[in-house]
Amino acid sequence: MAKHWLYEWIDSYGIRSADDVRAHLISPKANLDLMQLARAAQSAESQPTTHRADLLAGTGFDLSGELACAESGCVNDDAEALLRRTWHYFDRVIVRDYFTGPIVAHSEHSERLNVNQVGPMVDLLLHLRALHAEDAFEFRLKRPPYWTDQETAAVSLRLPPETQQRFRECTELFEKEASIGRVTNPTNHHHAHGAPAVIPDGSELWFLEHPSVHHMKLQVVPSEALAGRSDAQIRNTIAYNVAHMIYGYLLADIGTASDLNTSLAAPTSSYEMMLAPAPGMSNPSRVAFNLDLPFVPTSSMADLMDYRNANPQDFESFRHALRIASAERLRQGEEAPTTIANEIYSDVIDPELRRITGQMQRAVARRREALLGAGVATFVAVFGLLIRDSNVATLGAGLVAERLLSARSTQTTLTDPIRDSDMFFLFNAAERDH
């Protein structure tokens, strides 16, 4: 799997921070090398893809800052959040390449780049390196959003009329439930999506916040749109504009997913609401994206990536089992990926983890003296992170046994039924980080 082309420049010049970027961009050679790499990468990306990607991240979760916070820290947080939803199933995830094109365009009229053009992307790639996820994402061009003729675009994408109806329902949802109002201090919201550099005289800055959208949305209302209009009318306009903006990106993402022959991941519930009626959007990949594993939010992402990469057979066994279980439920007519994911956890994953735990408990009983001597209490709480609503005092012994029996490999080994379980990948992933 190929890494981002900028890693070659980063490693060639020993880049470790934005300060290093600033220092090296003084050099004409460093500028020339970077621009040449960008042009080569753009040429390669323009070639038709010959492979199938695992997943396309929808706008708002594609690390571009579009429909989200574009500050470097926010994008880094989004990258880690996206990894936590994909590490257990996907080899790679497609995200938006917002970097290569502008660098190439700039190189056509200038021989010098600045740190603001290069620094944020370097910061993201260094963050991915720290997470041991350099090759987890593939950066590619996506279709631009459809701001006009959305109905024509929906027809060309073969979307059913229900998709347009969901757009209207989303607008109504924002009108009724979103927090919408004037921004009294714009400098406090410079990180929000849509934050303008300058607010024109006579215009006002309004915000929209709702649990179904990613980050606060800001809209500049020009003076001519304020004249003679009540606050309620402006609120309705803001609700429509935000829904229209999300829908425009959604249509483009559906087109990009079709271009790349891949599945599309919904970043927010409002996006999912409008995506749901689209044909072919309920599939095992989207079920896997919506699978909630309780131990993941508190685990080290770097450790999880290391574990996955070091245990490809266990990873593939779990992925295959999840794919089969998802496909079976889809054949039964269930369509909501989140619903299927929750059912699979409750009906398939959780019972198997409990079975493994029971076998480990019996191993504990056979080694009671050794286990007590090693201090069982130190490890008892860990398994509660994996089994939902479990009796930790009872089930924790499974992970105790795994830790201690592993340390005594010369005395005993795990039985084949445990190691052969499709869920052994998750079992070990939860245990290793605690």
Q: What is the 3-state secondary structure (H, E, C) of 110-143?
A: CCCCCHHHHHHHHHHHHHHHHCCCCCCEEEECCC
Whether the Cβ atoms of residue 268 and residue 213 lie closer than 8 Å to each other = yes
| C-alpha span between 355 and 108 (Å, rounded) | 63
| C-alpha span between 255 and 277 (Å, rounded) | 15
Among residues 212, 319, 202, 323, the alpha carbon closest in space to that of 269 is found at 212
Q: CA distances (Å), 191 to each of 67, 187, 188, 196, 215, in order?
A: 11, 9, 8, 10, 9
Record the pTM.
Answer: 0.83
Quote the pLDDT of residue 192.
61
Quote the pLDDT of residue 405.
40
Q: What is the pLDDT along the chain (434 residues), one digit of tens a residue?
A: 578 999 999 999 999 988 899 999 999 999 999 999 999 999 887 655 544 548 999 999 999 999 988 888 999 999 999 999 999 999 999 999 999 999 999 999 999 999 999 999 999 999 999 999 999 999 999 999 998 888 888 888 889 888 889 999 999 999 999 999 998 876 665 556 666 656 788 889 999 999 999 888 988 899 888 888 999 999 999 999 999 999 999 999 999 999 988 999 999 989 998 988 887 778 899 999 999 988 888 889 999 999 999 999 999 999 999 999 999 999 888 678 889 999 999 999 989 888 887 777 777 676 665 545 555 444 444 444 455 544 443 444 444 444 434 433 333 445 566 677 888 899 888 776 55
| C-alpha span between 168 and 176 (Å, rounded) | 13
Quote the pLDDT of residue 230.
93
DSSP secondary structure letters along 344-401: HIIIIIHHHHHHHHHHHHHHHHHTHHHHHHH-GGGTTTGGGGTSTT--HHHHTHHHHH
Report the half-sphere exposure of 368 (CA within 13 A, side-chain side).
Answer: 3
Residue keyed to tokens 């607010």: 199
| C-alpha span between 268 and 270 (Å, rounded) | 6
For residue 219, what are the β-bridge partners? 206
